């Protein structure tokens, strides 16, 4: 059922999801292009309005009237008003300013501040003027008067010259006398920030709420929500580019940037319908797969169940009751192989039973063989007693050492012994050899007492001492000395077996380590290869035996072992 569901539903699911996300990406790309075009068109209109502010202030302060004369009289009505603020000049100045306002959708307000001692002039088509407001007290005005700049543009702020305190963008220009250059006044052209709503009247209602203008300081210049104007863009309404289609476009007149975005959820509204269709399709496919799988499972599992029954019979040892499966498919072939395997298993069980009988007999023989070491110990004890009675001290000493070595070698309480036990075994071995070599072998031990309790593999020093005696000291005419030196090295210990014998060349060392026959003696390498293999099986490749020798100067066998104490 799982296979059928996967085979049917997975391709449909993959293709549907792929189509869904491909459509989503294409839709996002198209909306990105559309929003980009809308933002550019909106920026063009906004730039036109901002350009008109500057143009109005320029023409109003320096522009000519319709009655151009040979003299300056009547050619500069704004400057004439600032120089001589009589009623006639006031009317002329008011008319020309009102003409400018009427041509631009009446969203402008113009304030003419007289610095020549005369009256100020305010022109606003819709909003009432607040005559009590003193622009001279404003920080921006003081700074503007102090600087040498001719013009200044103020970003979105509260226009306090109007009683309604609307939000506006303002442009201020200093007016100088064309003849004397004297500063006569300042003209301020204020445009209601709602002019952007006039620009965006063609946008959908949803897009208007997602249209923003940000200045170079990342402050919001325009937003439908006026409470956000003047706040930082990144701290409030900056849209996430992963969750929205976001387009930006800079303005040419100001260092402002327009943001227009649309949430991805709105773009993918149709995807929810596609998702519901996908679920419906998956359910239909699931039911279809369930029906097909039930039919197929009946066809497939019937011979498998028979095979399982045969396996159960084999588990119980009832090989004769196995049922033959008559099927020509893979299950039939598997059944034939299983029947053959069951016959082989029957033969194997019978053979194991026979081997168990033979094993029991072998264990009985092993119990009888255990009598032999005890017989040997008793015999050696008798030899020791007879030698003692006959005052053969050397035989007593040699027999006692041999008995200790045999007991040490046949111990079965583990593969690791203490260094003290291994040294005692060497002492017994050298005692036997000194009987043979008439006491010519001297042993020296350079071992710290604290190291005597450390553990090492059993029977690894005796082959080295034996090699030193047979290959190093046997040909000496004087007494030979064997030194066993044990020292700590970091977390390891080193055991050196040194002799002052004749030494060995490189070929002889290689023969001993590789356990090859020696032509001179006909003996093998006296178990050194076995010692090396045992050490590395116990502790790994970094540990083992190294040999250093020079002809006529003796031989040094060095064993590297891990320091194993009772505390580890």
Q: Dump pLDDT digits (tens) for 171-195.
A: 899 888 888 888 888 999 988 888 8
The full DSSP string for 443-464 is EEEEE-GGGTT-EEETTSSHHH
**For position 245, what pLDDT does the model report?**
82
Q: CA angle, 499 as apex, 497 and 505 as ends, to 5°?
A: 100
pLDDT tens per residue across span 219-249: 888 887 778 887 888 766 777 777 778 888 8
Tell me if residue 203 falls in helix, strand or coil.
coil
Residues with Cβ < 8 Å from 325, sequence gap 6 or more?
303, 306, 307, 310, 331, 332, 335
pLDDT tens readout for residues 460-519: 898 898 888 887 787 776 778 999 999 999 889 999 999 988 888 888 888 777 764 343
- The tokens for 348 are 């194997």
- Determine the Cα–Cα distance for residues 324 and 332; give it in Å rounded to an integer: 9
Exposure pattern of 52-74 as b/e (b: 16+ CB <10 Å)? bbebbbbebbeeeeeeeeeeeee
| Of 70-84, 256-270, 460-474, 545-559, minimum mean pLDDT range | 70-84
pLDDT, tens digit, for every residue of 374-407?
556 556 666 766 767 766 677 777 777 777 777 7
pLDDT per position as a tens digit, 206-219: 676 678 888 888 88
The pTM (predicted TM-score) of the whole model is: 0.44
Q: Do 449 and 421 form a contact (C-beta atoms < 8 A)?
A: no
Q: Cβ atoms within 10 A of the Cβ of 517, count?
A: 11
**pLDDT confidence of residue 362:** 63
What pLDDT is recorded for position 434?
82
Which residue intervals of 103-176 are DSSP H helices?
139-146
The residue-averaged pLDDT of 276-282 equals 74
User: Is the sign of the CA dihedral 323, 329, 334, 340 positive or negative?
Assistant: positive
What's the confidence (pLDDT) of residue 371?
Answer: 44
Rounded distance, CA 147 to CA 183, Å?
A: 13
Task: State how far the Cα of 422 lies from the Cα of 416, in Å rounded to an integer.
Answer: 10
Q: What share of the chain is helix, strand, coil (3-state, %, to 5)?
A: 50, 20, 30
Q: Which residues make beta-bridge pairs with 247?
A: 260
Q: How far apart are CA 306 and CA 52, in angstroms?
A: 95
């Amino acid at each position: 059922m799982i296979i059928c569901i996967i085979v049917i539903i997975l391709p449909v699911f993959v293709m549907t999801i792929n189509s869904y996300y491909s459509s989503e990406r294409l839709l996002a790309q198209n909306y990105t292009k559309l929003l980009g075009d809308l933002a550019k068109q909106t920026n063009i209109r906004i730039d036109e309005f901002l350009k008109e502010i500057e143009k109005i202030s320029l023409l109003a302060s320096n522009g000519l009237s319709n009655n151009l004369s040979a003299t300056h009289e009547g050619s500069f009505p704004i400057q004439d008003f600032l120089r001589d603020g009589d009623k006639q000049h006031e009317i002329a100045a008011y008319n020309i300013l009102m003409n400018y306002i009427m041509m631009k959708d009446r969203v402008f307000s113009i304030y003419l501040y007289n610095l020549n001692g005369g009256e100020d002039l305010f022109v606003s088509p819709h909003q009432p003027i607040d005559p009590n407001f003193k622009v001279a007290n404003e920080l921006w005005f003081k700074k503007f008067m102090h600087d040498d700049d001719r013009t200044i543009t103020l970003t979105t702020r509260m226009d306090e010259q109007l009683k309604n305190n609307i939000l506006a963008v303002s442009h201020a220009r200093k007016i100088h006398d064309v003849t004397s250059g004297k500063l006569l006044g300042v003209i301020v052209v204020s445009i209601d920030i709602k002019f952007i709503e006039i620009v965006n009247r063609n946008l959908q209602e949803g897009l208007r709420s997602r249209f923003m203008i940000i200045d170079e300081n990342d402050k919001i210049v325009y937003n439908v929500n006026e409470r956000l104007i003047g706040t930082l863009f990144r701290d409030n309404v900056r849209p996430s580019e992963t969750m929205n289609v976001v387009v930006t476009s800079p303005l040419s007149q100001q260092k402002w940037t327009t943001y227009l975005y649309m949430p991805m959820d709105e773009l993918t509204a149709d995807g929810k319908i596609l998702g519901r269709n996908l679920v419906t399709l998956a359910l239909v496919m699931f039911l279809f797969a369930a029906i097909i799988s039930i039919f197929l499972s009946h066809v497939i599992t019937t011979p498998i169940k028979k095979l399982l029954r045969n396996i159960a019979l084999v588990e119980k040892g009832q090989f004769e009751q196995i049922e033959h499966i008559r099927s020509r498919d893979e299950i039939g072939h598997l059944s034939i192989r299983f029947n053959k395997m069951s016959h082989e298993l029957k033969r194997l069980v019978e053979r194991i039973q026979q081997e168990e009988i033979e094993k029991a007999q072998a264990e009985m023989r092993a119990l009888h063989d255990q009598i032999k070491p005890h017989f040997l110990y008793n015999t050696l004890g008798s030899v020791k007693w007879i030698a003692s009675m006959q005052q053969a001290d050397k035989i007593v000493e040699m027999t006692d050492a041999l008995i200790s070595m045999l007991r040490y070698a046949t111990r079965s309480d583990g593969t690791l012994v203490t260094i003290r036990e291994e040294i005692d075994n060497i002492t017994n071995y050298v005692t036997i050899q000194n009987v043979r070599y008439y006491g010519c072998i001297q042993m020296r031990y350079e071992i710290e007492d604290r190291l005597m309790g450390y553990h090492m593999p059993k029977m690894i020093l005796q082959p080295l001492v034996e090699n030193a005696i047979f290959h190093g000291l046997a040909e000496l005419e004087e007494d030979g000395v064997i030194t066993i030196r044990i020292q700590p090295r970091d977390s390891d210990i080193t055991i050196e077996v040194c002799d002052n014998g004749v030494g060995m060349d490189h070929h002889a060392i290689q023969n001993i380590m590789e356990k090859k026959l020696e032509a001179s003696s006909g003996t093998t390498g006296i178990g050194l290869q076995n010692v090396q293999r045992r050490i590395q099986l116990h502790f790994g490749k970094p540990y083992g035996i190294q040999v250093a020798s020079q002809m006529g100067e003796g031989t040094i066998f060095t064993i590297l072992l891990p320091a194993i104490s009772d505390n580890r």
